[in-house]
Structures are given as structure tokens and as C-alpha cells.
């Protein structure tokens, strides 16, 4: 089976400090895994990155992010070079969620306003109402693309998203495993006490990632493909040790 996973930094394979949940599918199951999660990315990037990487995919797990984030597709190398001088969100991504140096690329500007471009957008164009509508449109469009490609898919809310207009946009909420957001789940969990980076937003620790995977993704993959011989208890102990060590070092 060929699995695709997508989302923002919560679902980023290249996160350098501890294993995120997307590290585990290839460990626990016999499958090929494609990850397109990108740091700071928004829902427009998530939608496009999945659509552009569906060839040969059998199953997809998508975690939608905060609807307030702004993604911008940049074709100008001069603009990319300027972005790299900004104090935050100073990088661009390819359609696999990897940081690159060259245009064209996606700028996950997120909710920043500390630079020339975003300051102007925030002051003149930004609309929270439109951000909700755009996210619903992205979810609906991606659902139709996945269904056309006959890809089995499962969705989660990384952050709370207003869903009052979901039906108007043709969003099928039945494809969400739960409408309880990962954000709310994390901050209600025992793992929150190990966080010392709250000022950077949602950065779930290693233990939470494994719990989320074990409770939500493992059953899906057990149904879809064969499990490898792995010691779940040993992984439980390992991620707890990693979480405690990082907390003591002040990097969790």
C-alpha cells in the first residue's frame, strides 16, 4: 500500500527535534509512505500539495490546520530572496513540504505581520470571513479530487475550524475521524505539562504524537495493510523518555 500524509508542522516528517506522528507508519506497517507536511503551512498549501502528489496513492490521511494562516504561491525569485531576510517565516516550500531556495515555491506566511508584504496584506486585504470560506473550499475540493482518484482518505482538524457552512461548500464531515481538534486534544492531555515552547504556538511533544498515532492512525493502517513485528510497549517507553529528556533540556 502507498500512504500519503499531509498537514502543517504537526504532520511534518522533517521536524528535527523529536518524532512526529508521521514517522510511525513505515515503522509499524508494511507500506510505502509519502509525506507532504510542511512547517507553518496553511490549508491552501495542504490542499495543493496533496492534489499534486496523488499519483499511485492508495490511502491518504490529512490534518487540516488553522484557517487563519495565509499561504502565497511565489513565482518571483526576487521576492523569495526578500522573504529569506524576514525575522520569521523566512522560508519557502516545494509541493512536498520541504524548504527550498528557488522560486516558484509556496510561502507559508502563516499569521505573521512583521514584514513588508504581510503588513500590507493584513492592513488592506485580509478577511477572517474569507479565510473560513477558503478553507471549506479547499476541504471540499480535495475530497472530490481524492474520490475521483479512488483514494481512501481520512481527515482530522489540527485546529478548531468553523464548520457552520460546511454543507454549503459540499464538505463531507463523515470523512473526519473526529471533529475534536488536535489542538484541543493536546491542551487537554497530560502531555501539555512537558511543553515549554507555548510562545511558538502549537508544538505537541513526542509523547502526544505517539498517542495520537496509536489511538487514531494505527487502527486505520491495521485495516488497510499488514503490521510489522514491533514492540508497542517499547515505543511507549521510548517516546516518554524522549519527551522527558527534551523537557529537561528546555526544547519541548
Q: How far is CA 117 from the centre of its chain?
A: 24
pTM: predicted TM-score of the whole model, two decimal places: 0.97
| Count of structural domains, the chain | 1
On whether the CB atoms of residues 177 and 155 are closer than 8 A, the answer is yes
Q: What is the domain range of residue 177? A: 2-249
Distance CA 49, CA 57 (A): 13
Distance CA 192, CA 85 (A): 33
Distance CA 7, CA 38 (A): 7
Q: What is the pLDDT of residues 10-56, one digit of tens each?
A: 999 999 999 999 999 999 999 999 999 999 999 999 999 999 999 99
**pLDDT value, residue 200:** 59
Q: Cis omega before residue 104 (within 30°)?
A: yes
**pLDDT value, residue 202:** 80
User: Can you list the residues of the chain whose pLDDT is less than 70?
Assistant: 198-201
**pLDDT value, residue 196:** 84
On whether the CB atoms of residues 8 and 37 are closer than 8 A, the answer is yes
Amino acid at each position: 500500500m502507498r500512504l500519503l500524509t499531509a498537514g502543517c508542522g504537526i504532520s511534518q516528517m522533517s521536524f528535527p527535534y523529536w518524532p512526529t506522528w508521521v514517522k510511525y507508519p513505515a515503522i509499524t506497517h508494511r507500506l510505502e509512505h509519502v509525506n507532504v507536511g510542511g512547517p507553518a503551512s496553511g490549508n491552501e498549501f495542504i490542499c495543493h500539495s496533496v492534489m499534486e502528489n496523488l499519483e499511485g496513492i492508495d490511502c491518504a490521511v490529512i490534518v487540516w490546520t488553522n484557517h487563519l494562516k495565509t499561504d502565497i504561491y511565489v513565482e518571483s525569485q526576487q521576492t523569495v530572496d526578500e522573504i529569506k531576510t524576514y525575522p520569521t517565516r523566512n522560508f519557502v516550500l516545494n509541493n512536498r513540504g520541504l524548504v527550498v531556495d528557488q522560486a516558484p515555491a509556496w510561502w507559508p506566511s502563516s499569521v505573521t505581520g512583521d514584514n513588508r508584504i504581510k503588513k500590507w496584506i493584513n492592513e488592506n486585504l485580509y478577511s477572517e470571513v474569507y479565510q473560513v470560506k477558503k478553507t471549506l473550499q479547499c476541504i471540499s475540493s480535495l475530497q472530490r479530487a481524492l474520490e475521483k482518484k479512488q483514494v481512501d482518505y481520512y481527515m482530522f482538524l489540527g485546529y478548531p475550524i468553523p464548520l457552520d457552512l460546511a454543507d454549503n461548500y459540499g464538505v463531507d464531515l463523515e470523512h473526519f475521524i473526529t471533529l475534536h481538534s488536535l489542538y484541543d486534544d493536546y491542551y487537554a492531555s497530560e502531555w501539555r505539562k512537558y511543553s515549554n515552547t507555548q510562545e511558538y504556538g502549537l508544538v505537541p511533544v513526542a509523547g502526544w504524537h505517539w498517542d495520537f498515532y496509536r489511538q487514531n492512525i494505527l487502527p486505520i493502517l491495521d485495516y488497510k495493510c499488514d503490521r510489522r513485528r514491533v514492540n508497542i510497549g517499547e515505543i511507549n517507553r521510548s517516546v516518554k523518555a524522549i519527551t522527558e529528556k527534551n523537557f529537561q533540556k528546555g526544547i519541548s
